[in-house]
Amino acid sequence: MNFLIKIFCLFVIFLVIVNFIGHETIAADGETTLKEAIDIGFQRAKEWNVNAILTSVNSVDETMGGSRGEAGKRFSWFVQFMVPGTDEHLLIGISEKKITVFRPIKQSPDPTIIYDEIKLDSSDVLQLAKEKYGLKQGKDWATGYHYTLDNINGTPILTVIGNDGDNRFTRISFNARNGDVVNAIHKLPYGGGLISKRIGSENLTKKGRAITGVVVGNKKIVVWGDKKPTQFSTTKQPFIEWSHNNGEKWTELRVNNYVTHAWFDRNDQLYVATEKELWAGITSKSKGTKILSLNQPFENVDYSINNHIAVLSNGTIFYTTDQGKSWEKAIVPNPFNVIQISENGDLLGLTEERKLLQKTNDGWNEITIPNSNDLPMDMKVINKRLFITTRSGIWTRNLQEKNWRTIQVDEMVVSFIKKGEKLFGYTHRGEDIYSISTGDESKSEKVFEANDSIVMDVDMMGDTLWVATAPNYSWEEIKTPQKRKKF
């Protein structure tokens, strides 16, 4: 019996070892550490020039699976060398332990790195970053763990990049000679939220959120976005809420995915578009009715005053003139940046080449703009009027006419926001927001100065302007190391 027990124990140990070796092989197959990548690159660099010396190394983002830096190893790396005293440089790309890029270039000299001074590898600094700061894998951008090696002020600096405990972009830098922490920083958000602005007053609510949209109806306000955005994503904790008392109290609405568009029809019924679905009649007690579902994401959505709806997806416009009871299709002749639908059901589009097209029974016809040397940057249709913004100004015309007239604005407007019969304009970088006249008046009015705010959307109820903003981000020192919890 003792003999059988010993045999069984040895068999279990064998299985554990085999399983461990198998997992290690899978994780490391085709991947290398930073120093291993240097060794592969150095051999080829010495063949290029015997005097070649290292200047920098960085891992490369990819979608090849593997450990994504979990063991200090990546599939792909860039290693750079130079010949001291010359402008001769060499860029070597490594993928799955093979050289896939060999590019001699000429540029001004860079600080060099003495190989023997690199006492730590990427696997070492990853372990230190995890122990000292609880570093986690990056998501959304620079996925997994990434690594760089540079000469900074005469010191070889090895940096590991990932996320902190709040999923914020983080860089931990070490002295590659001794492992001392040189720098530990993460990108923290500032700003973001919903601004309500009246004459002489301005109030900020929902601080820190990415409010990506706002729309007002009959005494209702709806906002949507992300509760805890990161620098590279505003879709991780999506929400949509509405208020019946001018923003004093909010109720969350039930939507399965992040919201891209929302609006009210003339009957104060709420329509919501998500990535691939369109819903009508959403309330705090009901998810509403799904009126459109597509296999491909919505690229652009528009609606008219009488709630004709158009959706652009994968080169096709799906449009309805009966509130979504039935849908028709129109194939676009060129890639569109913007689509619009009028209250008569006219379809218009702005192509990537900045051409204005209108659908007719004969196909798509180009609309001649006022200045043939100008290019429209954006376009919107309100009622039966077409509005375009160009470098020469804002222009409008009736869809059934050919005569354009100009709308006066003090700055160049680069894009529009349409809210029912209201039209707003962004200046460069969204620094200023103008209310654009859609009636007979020719003068527009500046209604908001963004300053440090990143404006995502605007709407107006009475004398109150509602401004949706997202956070900005800046590098800040990690003041207190957040060590990884031990279990």
For residue range 294-303, what is the model confidence (pLDDT) as tens digits? 999 999 999 9
Q: Please check the confidence at residue 7 and state whether its pLDDT lies above 70.
A: no
**470 strand-pairing partners:** 454
Q: What is the predicted pLDDT for the residue at 20? A: 32
Q: Please check the confidence at residue 21 and state whether its pLDDT lies above 50.
A: no
Element (H, E) at 27: helix 2-28
Q: Where does the pLDDT of residue 414 fall: very low under 50, low under 70, confident under 90, or very high at 90 and above? A: very high
pLDDT, average across residues 398-420: 92
Query: In the predicted model, what is the mean pLDDT of the chain?
Result: 89
Q: What is the predicted pLDDT for the residue at 428? A: 83
pLDDT tens-digit series, residues 442-473 = 678 999 998 888 999 999 999 999 999 999 99
Both tokens of 269, joined, read 């019924």
Query: How much is the CA Rg of the chain, to the nearest whole Å?
Result: 29
Q: Which residue has the tokens 């609405």?
A: 253
Q: What is the predicted pLDDT for the residue at 26? A: 40
Q: What is the predicted pLDDT for the residue at 199? A: 79
Q: What is the predicted pLDDT for the residue at 481? A: 61
- How far apart CA 221 and CA 264 sit, in angstroms, is 10
pLDDT, average across residues 261-275: 96
- How far apart CA 240 and CA 223 sit, in angstroms, is 6
pLDDT, average across residues 171-191: 94
pLDDT, average across residues 63-68: 76
- How far apart CA 199 and CA 202 sit, in angstroms, is 8
Q: What is the predicted pLDDT for the residue at 67? A: 80
* Among 313, 324, 214, residue whose Cα is nearest residue 264: 214
pLDDT, average across residues 328-353: 96
pLDDT tens-digit series, residues 104-133 = 999 999 999 999 999 999 999 999 999 999
Q: What is the predicted pLDDT for the residue at 232? A: 82
Q: Where does the pLDDT of residue 362 fall: very low under 50, low under 70, confident under 90, or very high at 90 and above? A: confident
More confident: 223 or 370:
223
pLDDT, average across residues 176-187: 95
Structural domains of the chain in order of their starting residue, each with its CATH number: 30-179 (no CATH), 190-474 (2.130.10.10)
Q: What is the predicted pLDDT for the residue at 438? A: 87
Q: What is the predicted pLDDT for the residue at 154? A: 95
Q: Helix/strand/coil (H, E, C) string of 364-428? A: EEECCCCCCCCCCCEEEEECCEEEEEECCEEEEEECCCCCCEEEECCCCCCEEEEECCEEEEECH
Q: Where does the pLDDT of residue 1 fall: very low under 50, low under 70, confident under 90, or very high at 90 and above? A: very low
Q: What is the predicted pLDDT for the residue at 23? A: 33
pLDDT, average across residues 171-190: 94
Q: Please check the confidence at residue 189 and state whether its pLDDT lies above 90.
A: no
- Claim: this prediction has a pTM higher than 0.85: no
pLDDT, average across residues 373-398: 93
The percentage of residues in the chain with a pLDDT greater than 90, rounded to a whole number, is 77
CB atoms within 10 A of CB 233: 16
- How far apart CA 217 and CA 269 sit, in angstroms, is 9
Is there a contact between 279 and 289 (Cβ–Cβ < 8 Å)?
A: yes
Q: Where does the pLDDT of residue 139 fall: very low under 50, low under 70, confident under 90, or very high at 90 and above? A: confident
SS3 of 130, please?
A: helix
- The set of residues, in sequence order, having a beta carbon less than 8 Å from that of 219 and lying 6+ positions away, is 244, 461
CB atoms within 10 A of CB 243: 18
pLDDT tens-digit series, residues 142-177 = 789 999 999 999 999 999 999 998 888 999 999 999
What single-letter DSSP state applies at residue 193?
E
Q: Where does the pLDDT of residue 433 fall: very low under 50, low under 70, confident under 90, or very high at 90 and above? A: very high
